[in-house]
Amino acid sequence: MADRLSGIREFVTVVEAGSFAAAAGRLNLSRSAVGKAVARLETRLGVRLCHRTTRVLSLTEDGLAFYERCLRVLRQLEEAEMALESGRAEPVGKVRVTVPVVFGRHCVAPVLYEVASRHPGLVLEIGFTDRPVDLVEEGYDLAIRNGTLPDHPGLMARTLARQRMVVCASLAYLEKQGRPRSLAELPSHQAIDYARPQYTRTWLFPDRQSGTTEIAMNGRIRLDDLEAMCDAAAAGLGLAWLPCWLIRPRVAKGELVRLDDFPKAEFNSSALWPRAPFLPSRVRVLIDALAARLPGMMG
C-alpha cells in the first residue's frame, strides 16, 4: 500500500502549486526530488500525467482524472487522521499559527506559550505579520485576526474577545495644540495613522443614528506598527487611535493621556481555521485557551 501512495503527495502538490519548483518549496524537497517522484509515479501507472515546459505546467486528460481521484483519497485519509486525533486526550503534533505583530506578541503568544508548556507533545510555529494571509495557500492551521473577517466559504471562525479603541496623545501635545472635545475637531489636529502599502486605516466611532462615523485623519506620520505609533504619540507628534490594552502601561506612566470625550469603537478578535469535518485537538486547545484568556487581557 505504501508503494501505491508513493509520489501521490508530490503530484498533487505540483498541480496545486502550479510548478515543480513551487511544489518543492512547499514540501521542503529539492526540485529534482519532486520531479523524480512524479516521474516514478508516471512510470508505475504507465501514463503521462502532465506536460512539462519551462514556463507552464498542464495536466493531460489522464492526469486530470487521476488528480481528482487523488484529492478524494487524500481528503478521506486526512479526515480519518483528524477523527483519530480529535479524540485524543493529549494534543500532539505541529500547529502553524499566523498572528498580527503587536497583538500577537503582547496578547496571543503568551497564551500559546502557556498551552505549549502544559502539552509537551505540541509543536508551535508562529508567524507574526500584519499582511493578509491565505491560510489554505500558505499552509496555516490557525489565524488570529482583528476586525472584519474575510468572506471565505473555506474558513471557520470563532470570536475570542472584543477590543476597545481610544484616542490618546501626550500631555505635551495637548498643552501645545489644545484638547479636542468633539469628533468635528479631530481632523484639524495632527495625527499618527496606521498605514501599510495600499491601506490606511480610518478612525471609526459608534453613532446611534448612522451606526458608525468614519473619520479620515490624513496623518503626517504614518506607521505600520502599533508600538511605533505609541512611541510617536508619546513623543508629542499627534493624536493616535489605539487599543486600550496597548496604551494602558503608557497611561499609567503618564506618557499618554486617554481622551475619553469620544465614543469608543469596539471590534472583534477572532480565530480562523480551514473548514474540515473534524477540528484537531491540537488546534482546539489553542482556540479554547485564547477564548478563555483574551477577554480579561483586553480590560
The DSSP result for 185-251, as a single string, is GGGGS-EEEEEETTEEPPEEEEETTTEEEEE----SEEES-HHHHHHHHHTTS-EEEEEHHHHHHHH
Digit-coded pLDDT (tens) for 90-126:
788 899 999 999 999 999 999 999 999 999 999 999 9
Q: Taking a C-beta distance cutoff of 8 angstroms, is the pair 63, 48 a contact?
A: yes
Which 8-state DSSP code applies to residue 180?
-
CA–CA distance, 269 with 294 (Å, rounded to integer): 9
CA 127 to CA 123: how far, in whole Å? 13
Residues 6+ apart with CB under 8 A from 277: 79, 82, 83
pLDDT bracket for residue 19 (50, 70, 90): confident
pLDDT of residue 1: 47
DSSP code for 30: -
Question: pLDDT, tens digit, for every residue of 170-215?
Answer: 999 999 999 998 898 999 999 999 987 777 788 888 887 767 888 8
**Which pTM value belongs to this model?**
0.69
pLDDT of residue 271 exceeding 50, the answer is yes
Q: pLDDT by residue (tens digit) across 24-78?
A: 877 778 888 888 988 898 898 888 888 876 566 788 888 888 888 887 777 777 6
Is pLDDT at 220 greater than 80 in this prediction? yes
Domains, the chain, in order of start with CATH, read 2-86 (1.10.10.10), 93-160+267-298 (3.40.190.10), 163-266 (3.40.190.290)
pLDDT at 179: 94
Separation CA 39–CA 46 (nearest Å):
10
Q: CA 277 to CA 254: how far, in whole Å?
A: 51
